[in-house]
Structure 1
Amino acid sequence: MTQVLAARAGRITPEMEMVAHRENVDIEFIQAGVASGSIVIPKNIRRKAFTCCGIGQGLRVKVNTLIGTSSDRDDIRMEARKLAVAQDAGADAVMDLSTGGDIDGVRRQTLAQATVAVGSVPIYQCAIEAIEKRGSVVAMTADDMFAAIERQAAEGVDFMAIHSALNFEVIERLKTTGRVTDVVSRGGAFLTGWMLHNDKENPLYEQFDRLLEILKRYDVTLSLGDAIRPGATADSLDGAQLQGMIIGGELVARAHAAGVQVMVEGPGHVPMHHVRATMLLQKRLCNGAPYFVLGTLATDIAPGYDHITSAIGGAIAGAAGADFICNVTPAEHLGLPTEQDVRDGIIAARIAAHAADLARGNRQALSKDLQMARARVALNLDRQIGLSIDPEKMKANGANRDGGHCCAVCGPQCAAQVAARYFGIA
């Protein structure tokens, strides 16, 4: 029984209890959110126990990160190190997007070693295998696609990005929009090429009920992949993106009716003045399903610093309703990330998520900021380190335990301390 069906039947699962405890909310709130589809708890029934996270309305904004091999770099040991770094840096979930080397082996290693939810994009492996066996991505068959999904679900993947909200209506709309970047989603590009070459509808859309049957069997959370997301700020909120949102909303309703957990992926490159409108449209069209944003990048001109541009957009998106932020690393648009890139990207995304939580009035976030402020006034360095988003960074950047003060601006003549003594609160 899926989390959705259990919640609707009045049952409280161990996963719901874990989320309620971690979020410090009533269990009835979690149960109601899962039942309605406004909250998802990615947890495959085949996975051993791990630290589940709840994603959705009324909960803290969560952070996802990406690891995986490519044809150019397929070091399975590096991927294990990236996973360890991601978990140490505080990622709530990780996606294995491997496309090179022993793809199955990397995914199994990730599932065995992860203590958080694990996601994947099955069409990636399906496309690579089609190239290896038949010479071309467009030689994939519908059965190939569903076999890849079934195999990864059976292995224990908790959530899957599947590009079902792409059909010929969306492609026709794309042809008339005058888009700068056309299709930037890798999964979207694979499927668009397949559809146009074979002159056939997207099987993941056309046979959506078949997909839901597989996901329901293993309680895999469907992440509706944004196949048509804008890859440049100039393309934000164009007709193709909106058409994809409309189709996505229809599929969300079908997933909810089938008892399958579902969230929706979103852009992409979005200028700041479009972010709130994008979030409101998605929530309206998709019946409040959790929104999983890929960034969002607030500008196109910062290669090497896209963990910053995405944190700017991600904070605004989270404040406006996004529930799950996929971190972007400094290597975005440049190459595969290193372990340090992964860490830097996660920390930037966690800062964005926490800033969004403050804007949303999350009690845990508000309490943590208040505790940090009080620790600074009290010169409690250990407390400051413990509350900081990256304790190791704070330690490495010159926390002065001997002097009892670590502020380089005013030194021992701390303005906060002078004021505190004056008001009798020091």
Structure 2
Amino acid sequence: MEIDEIILGLDDVLRGNITADLLRNAVEDGSAVLIRGRERSVAVGSSLPVKINTNIGISDKSDPNVEVEKLKLLSSFSFRPDLMMDHTIDREHRDFWKTMVRHFDGPVGTLPHYTIYSPQHGIEKSALIDRITEMLEGGVAFMTLHFTSDPDIYDVARKTRPIPVTSRGGGLVVRDMLRSGRNENVFRAAIADIASVFRKFDATISVGTTYRPPDIFSALDEAHTLETKRQVQIVRELREAGVSVIMEGVGHVQLTDIPRYIAIASKAKCPFMPLGPTTTDSAIGFDHVVNAIGGVTMALAGGAHILNSITREEHTGGVPSLESVVEGLKAAKVAAHSVNVTRFERIKAFDRMTIEQRGKQVSCVVAGGLFNERVDDPRKGCNRCSFECPIVLAPASPIH
């Protein structure tokens, strides 16, 4: 399918959030990318509505049937994620991504090294390229790859931090490097071959972050800053090789440090997907709330174009339940919409419909909204305010 045909069929263009010409120019200069799904492609980047990515996957403590149930439910929602990623680490179910491609109509992403790493052999370059090729041939649209799991940054991080590495994928690459005694991580060693495969399938690389801060006080420390600058270099190298690129980053960071971080990361001039950011380390059990706060702050400042939905289990352990995955998705959706409604007239119209409905019903309790919520008793006032309802006591006059 030609790029113009994809652009003209994108939801953002059809809804009038952006013109086809503006999007085409953004894609050409790398500030936006098109990520292709089985039936629905997604555009991410500057001047576009903020999008949502949701991660699921099978671990050795997961029930595969429950993960399939999560996938089917998430795929059925009118407010379904824009993108989804497979975070499966259980080698017995290493092809869960195929199920995701079959059931989810939008772009599906993976981390190919999750299911090829072994304690005995680490990550073999040939196996990595084969796995990437297999996934792209099978319909995967984008992948997180850890090109910056470099030994010099690891040396800094382990000497200066309580927790040197917080990235699971990046940690595997570091472990492989230490086990093999190589001074170059496997992704960096294979970058030319990787770029060639992604170019062939017109897929997108998300440049991952290995040394993102494990706590709010480590943000913008030496390791974090060094890696972020190196990510920017990798983005430029991949783009020069003709590859579509986005960038991941940050993790834990205080609200006041977000502008400083954006100033460094934005030099990549590509779409950005924060992993959080988590703005306090103390909200254990409420990470989905903290994630929404950090996501709004970063997106409103122009530094985030895809928000990840996370669950309350992020720092409590255990496999997220179906209910908490949906809860996390809703929190991220509210965050993204809160930013989008400030920028796009077609999205403002959605909120205006809710306001008009409240006026017509003479009640602040109305059905619909982002999640098509139902209301048990759609009448004047509500049970909470009863006869003291200010809307009933002072109804609006018709506006002429």
Report what 1:17 is aligned to: 9
Q: CA deviation at 1:366?
A: 2.5
Report what 2:74 is aligned to: 86
In structure 2, give the amino acid aligned to 1:72. K
1:291-311, CA deviations, whole angstroms, 9 ceiling, x for partnerless residues?
101111111122221111111
* Structure 2 segments unaligned to the other structure (5+ residues): none
SS in 2 for 1:70: coil
Please say if 1:265 is aligned against 2:248.
Answer: yes
Please say if 1:212 is aligned against 2:195.
Answer: yes
Report what 2:272 is aligned to: 291
In structure 2, give the amino acid aligned to 1:292. M
C-alpha distance 23-197 of structure 1, shift in aligned 2 (>3 A): farther
Distance in 2 separating the partners of 1:420 and 1:342: 40
Please say if 1:158 is aligned against 2:135.
Answer: no
- Farther-moved stretch of structure 1 (375-384 vs 316-325): 375-384
Report what 2:377 is aligned to: 400
- Structure 1 ranges of 4+ moved more than 4 A: 380-384, 417-420
C-alpha distance 384-364 of structure 1, shift in aligned 2 (>3 A): farther
In structure 1, give the amino acid aligned to 2:367. I
Q: CA deviation at 1:62?
A: 0.6
Please say if 1:39 is aligned against 2:39.
Answer: no
C-alpha distance 13-165 of structure 1, shift in aligned 2 (>3 A): farther
In structure 1, give the amino acid aligned to 2:31. S
In structure 2, give the amino acid aligned to 1:12. D
Please say if 1:327 is aligned against 2:319.
Answer: no
Distance in 1 separating the partners of 2:181 and 2:154: 12
Distance in 2 separating the partners of 1:383 and 1:416: 11
Q: 1:66 aligns with which of 52, 55, 61?
A: 55
Q: 1:411 aligns with which of 357, 372, 386?
A: 386
Distance in 1 separating the partners of 2:248 and 2:115: 20
Q: How does 1:165-244 map to 2 (within 5 A)?
A: 165-176=148-159, 178-200=160-182, 201-244=184-227
SS in 2 for 1:150: helix
Distance in 1 separating the partners of 2:272 and 2:43: 13
C-alpha distance 17-380 of structure 1, shift in aligned 2 (>3 A): farther
C-alpha distance 104-381 of structure 1, shift in aligned 2 (>3 A): farther
Q: CA deviation at 1:195?
A: 1.4
C-alpha distance 206-22 of structure 1, shift in aligned 2 (>3 A): farther
Q: CA deviation at 1:424?
A: 4.0
Q: 1:357 aligns with which of 337, 340, 345?
A: 340
Q: CA deviation at 1:23?
A: 5.2
Q: Structure 1 or 2: larger helix share?
A: 1
Report what 1:391 is aligned to: 372
User: How many percent identity over aligned positions?
Assistant: 25
SS in 1 for 2:220: coil
In structure 1, give the amino acid aligned to 2:219. S
Q: 1:337 aligns with which of 320, 330, 352?
A: 320
Distance in 2 separating the partners of 1:164 and 1:58: 28
Instruction: With the length of structure 1 as denominator, give the TM-score of the two structures.
Output: 0.86
- Does the CA contact (< 8 Å) of 2:381 and 2:391 recur in 1? no
Distance in 1 separating the partners of 2:93 and 2:362: 48
C-alpha distance 169-21 of structure 1, shift in aligned 2 (>3 A): farther
Please say if 1:313 is aligned against 2:294.
Answer: yes
* Structure 1 segments unaligned to the other structure (5+ residues): none
In structure 1, give the amino acid aligned to 2:245. V
Distance in 1 separating the partners of 2:359 and 2:13: 32
- Does the CA contact (< 8 Å) of 1:97 and 1:120 recur in 2? yes
In structure 2, give the amino acid aligned to 1:264. M
Distance in 2 separating the partners of 1:254 and 1:101: 32
SS in 2 for 1:270: coil
- Does the CA contact (< 8 Å) of 2:55 and 2:85 recur in 1? yes
Distance in 2 separating the partners of 1:412 and 1:39: 52
C-alpha distance 283-425 of structure 1, shift in aligned 2 (>3 A): same
Q: 2:85 aligns with which of 92, 95, 98?
A: 95
Report what 1:368 is aligned to: 350
- Does the CA contact (< 8 Å) of 1:236 and 1:270 recur in 2? yes
C-alpha distance 418-253 of structure 1, shift in aligned 2 (>3 A): same
What is the root-mean-square deviation in Å for CA atoms of aligned residues? Answer: 2.3
Q: CA deviation at 1:330?
A: 1.3
